């Protein structure tokens, strides 16, 4: 297969998966923001979306205020934001268009149709009028594309590169989602510090953090995260117990049978790399296999004791490294 074709297939899937995950994340935030919050906590919630995706600087440069509407606008339809749903779906379709000859007709039409419908939705202000339904639509179109892929594509190299794109992106996105709590608190603390400079707060910092992280909001936050990866029912089924942070982390990091977990995504990456092996890719395959093995034999207690945020941070670096190595070994090397 042409390296450029593989590159297009890989990115076509990464972008669609990213659009889906952005929609999932925004949907959760939308639901969370309906819960009773003080205004700072609510803002923190929305700022966290930007932090997760490392888009804070780009956002602040272009938007004077941080209203939920601004952030939704930025994350849904802003063409200047390379991670907006608009940009992702456009890039997915552009990549599909340049390899349309390698896709089944049905698959190409699915990508094309998604793009055409998106343009109509944006014209008709669907995301603004019915954000929840719009996010459902994004998820649904991504699921349809995956279904059509599995249902019509020959199980060859081309399918492997598509899966590689999906799972690498998903590993990245799930890790970022799990880190949302860290980003929220960081933001809350920043807001608090700023406030302190202006006036003397009679509330102490630990108290503030505690309030934000009270058992009550803790429960809703983690159930929202579960909901965003469609894992609420799975959680109940697996644990048959109340929702707690360590179990959610375990489910989304270490459960190999959980389709959006880190270990499941990394396992899939390692499997596909084994199938795609060429004479340059040995080291990449080894690193993927190593990461999969570490996750397989890890314990959630150890991870949490050492700190979830540093763990996820390291994980994201390794995923990024795998992405670069895959480009070097198989695709069009990044300039």
Partner 1 sequence: MKDQTSVRVAAYDEMIDKSGGIRPHYQRFNDWLGEQSAESMMTRRLEADINFRRVGITFSVVGDEAGTERLIPFDLIPRVIPASEWRVLDAGLKQRVRALNRFIYDIYHDHDIIRAGKVPAKQVFTNSQYRPEMQDISVAEDIYCHIAGVDVVRAGEGEFYVLEDNLRVPSGVSYMLENRKMSMRLMPEAFNRIKVEPVAHYPDLLLDNLRESAPRGADNPTVVVLTPGMYNSAYFEHAFLAQQMGVELVEGRDLFVERSTVYMRTTQGPQRVDVIYRRVDDDYLDPLSFRGDSALGVAGLLSAYRAGRVTLANAIGTGIADDKSIYLHVPEMIRFYLGEEPILKNVPTWQCAKPDELSHVLANMHELVVKEVHGAGGYGMLVGPGSTKAQIDSFKDRVRANPSNYIAQPTLSLSTVPTYVESGIAPRHVDLRPYVLCGKDIRTVPGGLCRVALREGSLVVNSSQGGGTKDTWVLEDASC
Using the minimum distance from each CB to partner 1, give the nearer residue, 156 or 196. 156
CB 332, min distance to partner 1, A: 8
Closest CA to 188 of 37, 44, 39, 29: 44
Using the minimum distance from each CB to partner 1, give the nearer residue, 100 or 247. 100
Kindly state the tokens that stand for 277.
């092996």
Q: Locate tokens 């690193």: which residue? A: 287
CB 142, min distance to partner 1, A: 19
CB 256, min distance to partner 1, A: 27
CB burial class (10 A; 0-12, 13-18, 19+) of residue 37?
middle
Do the beta carbons of residue 332 and residue 7 sit within 8 Å? yes
Kindly state the tokens that stand for 126.
């669907």
Kindly state the tokens that stand for 275.
């199938």
CB 123, min distance to partner 1, A: 16
Kindly state the tokens that stand for 78.
């802003």
Q: Which helix or strand (DSSP H or E) is residue 122 part of?
A: helix 105-123
Using the minimum distance from each CB to partner 1, give the nearer residue, 157 or 218. 157
Using the minimum distance from each CB to partner 1, give the nearer residue, 69 or 152. 152
Using the minimum distance from each CB to partner 1, give the nearer residue, 153 or 293. 153
CA of 90: how far to CAs of 6, 18, 115, 322, in Å?
18, 12, 7, 25
Do the beta carbons of residue 225 and residue 180 sit within 8 Å? yes
CB 147, min distance to partner 1, A: 18
Using the minimum distance from each CB to partner 1, give the nearer residue, 2 or 207. 2
Count the residues in the chain: 335
Closest CA to 322 of 314, 97, 219: 314
CB 81, min distance to partner 1, A: 19
Binding site for partner 1 (CB under 8 A): 1-6, 94, 97-102, 105, 108-109, 112-113, 116, 157, 161, 276, 278-279, 330-331
Using the minimum distance from each CB to partner 1, give the nearer residue, 11 or 46. 11
Using the minimum distance from each CB to partner 1, give the nearer residue, 241 or 279. 279
CB 135, min distance to partner 1, A: 24
Alpha helices in 124-202 (DSSP H): 126-129, 131-152, 157-178, 180-198
CB 3, min distance to partner 1, A: 5
Burial 145-171 (b: 16+ CB within 10 A, else e): bbebbeeebeeebbbbbbbbbbbbbbb
Closest CA to 288 of 182, 163, 180: 163
CB burial class (10 A; 0-12, 13-18, 19+) of residue 135?
buried
């Amino acid at each position: 297969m042409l390296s450029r074709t593989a590159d297009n297939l890989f990115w076509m899937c990464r972008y669609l998966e990213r659009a889906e995950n952005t929609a999932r994340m925004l949907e959760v935030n939308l639901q969370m923001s309906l819960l009773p919050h003080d205004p700072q906590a609510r803002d923190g919630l929305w700022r966290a979306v930007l932090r997760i995706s490392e888009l804070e600087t780009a956002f602040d440069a272009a938007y004077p205020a941080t209203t939920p509407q601004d952030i939704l606008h930025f994350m849904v339809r802003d063409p200047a934001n390379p991670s907006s749903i608009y940009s992702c779906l456009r890039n997915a379709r552009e990549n599909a268009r340049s390899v349309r000859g390698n896709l089944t007709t049905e698959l190409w039409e699915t990508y094309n149709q998604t793009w055409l419908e998106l343009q109509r939705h944006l014209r008709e202000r669907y995301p603004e009028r019915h954000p929840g339904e719009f996010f459902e639509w994004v998820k649904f179109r991504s699921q349809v594309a995956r279904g059509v892929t599995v249902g019509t594509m020959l199980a060859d190299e081309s399918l492997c590169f598509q899966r590689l794109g999906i799972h690498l992106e998903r590993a990245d996105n799930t890790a970022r989602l799990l880190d949302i709590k860290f980003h929220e608190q960081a933001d809350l603390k920043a807001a608090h510090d700023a406030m302190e400079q202006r006036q003397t707060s009679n509330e102490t910092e630990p108290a503030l953090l505690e309030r934000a992280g009270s058992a009550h909001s803790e429960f809703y936050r983690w159930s929202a995260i579960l909901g965003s990866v469609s894992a609420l029912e799975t959680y109940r089924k697996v644990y048959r117990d109340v929702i707690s942070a360590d179990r959610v982390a375990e489910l989304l990091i270490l459960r190999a049978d959980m389709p959006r977990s880190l270990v499941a995504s990394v396992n899939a990456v390692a499997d596909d790399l084994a199938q795609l092996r060429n004479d340059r890719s040995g080291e990449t395959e080894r690193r993927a296999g190593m990461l999969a093995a570490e996750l397989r034999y890890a314990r959630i207690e150890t991870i949490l004791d050492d700190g979830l945020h540093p763990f996820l941070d390291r994980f994201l670096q390794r995923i990024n490294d795998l992405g670069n190595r895959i480009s070097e070994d198989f695709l069009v090397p990044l300039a």
